Chains A and B, each alone.
Chain A
Amino acid sequence: MSVINPDQIDAQRLAGMRPAADRGDIDPALGDGSLVDDPALRPPLVLNGRDFHDVTEIVCGYSEKAPPWWWFHALGAAATVAGLAQIMILYLIITGVGVWGLNNQVDWAWDITNFVFWIGIGHAGTLISAILCLLKQEWRTAVNRSAEAMTIFAVTCAGIFPGIHVGRVWFAWMLFPIPNYNWIWPNFRSPLLWDVFAVSTYATVSTLFWYMGLIPDFATLRDRAHRRLRLGESQNMKLRVPLPVPIPVITLPIKGDILRAYIFGFLALGWRFSGRHWYRYEKAYLILAGISTPLVLSVHSIVSFDFATSILPGWHTTIFPPYFVAGAVFGGFAMVLLLLIPLRELLPNMKDLLTLRHLELMAKILLVTGMMVGFAYGMEFFIAWYGANQFEWYAFIGNRANPETAPYWWAYYTMIFCNVVTPQLFWVKKFRQNPIIIWIVALCVTIGMWFERFVIIVTSLHRAFLPGEWHMFYPTPVDILTFVGSFGIFFTLFLLFIRFMPIFPMAELKAVMPGASPHDHAHHHDDEHDDPHGDHGDDSHGEPTKQGAH
Chain B
Amino acid sequence: MARPIYQTESGARVFGILAQFENTLTLSNAAKAVRDAGFKKWDTHSPFPVHEMEHSMGIAGTAVRPLAYAMGMGALTGAVGGYLMQWWINKDYFIVVQGKPTDAAWESFIPVTFELGILLTAFAAIFGMLAFNGLPRHHHPLFTSERFLSTSDDAFFISVEAKDEKFDPESTRKMLEDAGATHIELVEEG
Write the residues of chain A forming the contact surface with B, with a CB cutoff of 8 angstroms: 51-53, 56, 177, 183-191, 193-194, 197-198, 201, 204-205, 208-209, 211-212, 216, 219-220, 222-224, 226-227, 230, 269-284, 287-288, 291-292, 294-295, 298, 302, 305, 506-508, 510-511, 515-522, 525, 527-528
Identify the interface centre among A275, A517, A528: most chain B CB within 10 Å of its CB.
A275
Whether A276 contacts B133 in the complex (CB less than 8 A), given A227-B146, A230-B146, A510-B48, comes out as yes
Q: Do the beta carbons of A272 and B25 come within 8 Å of each other? A: no
Q: Which residues of A contact B169 (CB under 8 A)?
A: none
Q: In the docked arrangement, what's the CA distance between A190 and B108, Å? A: 8
* 29 pairs of residues in contact across A and B, judged by CB atoms under 8 Å: A52-B47, A56-B152, A185-B95, A189-B95, A191-B111, A197-B111, A205-B119, A212-B129, A224-B149, A226-B149, A227-B146, A271-B135, A272-B151, A273-B46, A274-B43, A274-B133, A275-B46, A277-B133, A283-B63, A298-B111, A298-B114, A510-B47, A510-B154, A511-B49, A511-B51, A515-B23, A516-B51, A518-B27, A519-B51
Q: Does B64 contact A (CB under 8 A)?
A: yes
Q: Does B79 contact A (CB under 8 A)?
A: no
Q: Do the beta carbons of B43 and A518 come within 8 Å of each other? A: no
Of A201, A270, A278, which is within 8 A of B137 by CB? A270
Whether A275 contacts B135 in the complex (CB less than 8 A), given A52-B153, A56-B153, A183-B93, comes out as no
Q: Which residues of B contact A279 (CB under 8 A)?
A: 49, 53-54, 57, 59, 62-63
Whether A273 contacts B63 in the complex (CB less than 8 A), given A194-B111, A515-B23, comes out as no
Q: Which residues of A contact B132 (CB under 8 A)?
A: 280
Which chain A residue lies CB-closest to B120?
A201
Q: How far apart are A274's CB and chain B's nearest CB, in angstroms?
A: 5
Q: In the docked arrangement, what's the CA distance between A510 and B122, Å? A: 26
Q: How far apart are B144's CB and chain A's nearest CB, in angstroms?
A: 10
Q: In the docked arrangement, what's the CA distance between A446 and B118, Å? A: 30
Q: In the docked arrangement, what's the CA distance between A506 and B153, Å? A: 9
Interface of B is mostly: helix
Q: Do the beta carbons of B51 and A185 come within 8 Å of each other? A: no
Q: Do the beta carbons of B122 and A283 come within 8 Å of each other? A: no
Q: Does B142 contact A (CB under 8 A)?
A: yes
Q: Do the beta carbons of B122 and A220 come within 8 Å of each other? A: no
Q: Does B3 contact A (CB under 8 A)?
A: no
Q: In the docked arrangement, what's the CA distance between A259 and B63, Å? A: 35
Q: In the docked arrangement, what's the CA distance between A29 and B52, Å? A: 36
Q: Do the beta carbons of A291 and B118 come within 8 Å of each other? A: yes
Which chain A residue lies CB-closest to B31?
A275
Q: 0/1 per residue, B46-77, Cβ < 8 Å to A?
A: 11111111101101001110011001000000
Q: In the docked arrangement, what's the CA distance between A223 and B152, Å? A: 7
Q: Do the beta carbons of B50 and A507 come within 8 Å of each other? A: no
Q: Do the beta carbons of B138 and A281 come within 8 Å of each other? A: no
Q: In the docked arrangement, what's the CA distance between A385 and B121, Å? A: 44
Of A189, A270, A287, A302, which is within 8 A of B140 by CB? A270
Which chain B residue lies CB-closest to A217?
B152
Q: In the docked arrangement, what's the CA distance between A200 and B114, Å? A: 13
Q: Do the beta carbons of A188 and B154 come within 8 Å of each other? A: no
B1-39 interface with A by 8 A CB criterion = 23-29, 31-32
Which chain B residue lies CB-closest to A538?
B23
Q: In the docked arrangement, what's the CA distance between A154 and B159, Å? A: 43
Apart from A201-B115, A223-B152, A288-B126, list 4 A-B contacts with CB within 8 A.
A216-B47, A291-B121, A302-B111, A518-B29
Q: Which residues of A contact B123 (CB under 8 A)?
A: 208
Whether A220 contacts B152 in the complex (CB less than 8 A), given A279-B59, A305-B111, comes out as yes
Q: Do the beta carbons of A528 and B118 come within 8 Å of each other? A: no
Q: How far apart are A305's CB and chain B's nearest CB, in angstroms?
A: 7
Of A271, A280, A292, which is within 8 A of B67 by CB? A280
Q: In the docked arrangement, what's the CA distance between A280 and B24, Å? A: 19
Q: How far apart are A193's CB and chain B's nearest CB, in angstroms?
A: 7
Interface of A is mostly: helix
Q: Do the beta carbons of B51 and A518 come within 8 Å of each other? A: yes
How many A-B pairs have beta carbons closer than 8 Å: the answer is: 229
Whether A278 contacts B89 in the complex (CB less than 8 A), given A201-B118, A515-B24, comes out as no
Which chain A residue lies CB-closest to B139?
A270
Q: Which residues of A contact B143 (CB under 8 A)?
A: 226, 272
Whether A507 contacts B47 in the complex (CB less than 8 A), given A185-B89, A291-B118, A298-B114, comes out as yes
Q: 0/1 per residue, B88-113, Cβ < 8 Å to A?
A: 01101101011010000100110110
Q: Which 3 A-B pairs have the closest CB atoms?
A: A270-B137, A275-B44, A521-B25
Q: Which residues of B contact A515 (CB under 8 A)?
A: 23-24
Q: Which residues of B contact A291 (CB under 8 A)?
A: 71, 118, 121-122, 125
Q: How far apart are B114's CB and chain A's nearest CB, in angstroms?
A: 6
Q: Which residues of A contact B44 (CB under 8 A)?
A: 274-275
Q: Which residues of B contact A177 (CB under 8 A)?
A: 85, 89
Q: Which residues of A contact B46 (CB under 8 A)?
A: 273, 275, 278
Q: Which residues of B contact A204 (CB under 8 A)?
A: 119, 122
Of B47, B95, B115, B129, which is within 8 A of A298 by CB? B115
Q: Which residues of B contact A198 (CB under 8 A)?
A: 111, 115
Whether A273 contacts B47 in the complex (CB less than 8 A), given A188-B89, A204-B122, A520-B24, comes out as yes
Q: In the docked arrangement, what's the CA distance between A270 and B139, Å? A: 6
Q: In the docked arrangement, what's the CA distance between A205 and B74, Å? A: 13
Q: Which residues of A contact B47 (CB under 8 A)?
A: 52, 56, 216, 220, 273, 506-507, 510
Which chain B residue lies CB-closest to A231?
B146
Q: Do the beta carbons of B50 and A275 come within 8 Å of each other? A: yes
Q: How far apart are A56's CB and chain B's nearest CB, in angstroms?
A: 5
Which chain A residue lies CB-closest to B156?
A273
Q: In the docked arrangement, what's the CA distance between A177 and B85, Å? A: 9
Q: Which residues of A contact B130 (CB under 8 A)?
A: 269
Q: How far apart are B124's CB and chain A's nearest CB, in angstroms?
A: 9
Which chain A residue lies CB-closest to B63?
A280
Whether A527 contacts B25 in the complex (CB less than 8 A), given A198-B115, A273-B47, comes out as yes
Q: Which residues of A contact B32 (CB under 8 A)?
A: 528
Which chain A residue lies CB-closest to B157?
A273
Which chain A residue lies CB-closest to B131?
A280
Of B50, B125, B137, B152, which is within 8 A of A284 by CB? B125
Q: In the docked arrangement, what's the CA distance between A183 and B128, Å? A: 36
Q: How far apart are B33's CB and chain A's nearest CB, in angstroms?
A: 11
Q: Which residues of A contact B56 (CB under 8 A)?
A: 518
Which chain A residue lies CB-closest to B60?
A279
Q: In the docked arrangement, what's the CA distance between A197 and B109, Å? A: 11
Q: Does B172 contact A (CB under 8 A)?
A: no
Q: In the docked arrangement, what's the CA distance between A295 and B118, Å? A: 7
Q: Do the beta carbons of A216 and B126 come within 8 Å of each other? A: no
Q: Do the beta carbons of A284 and B116 come within 8 Å of each other? A: no
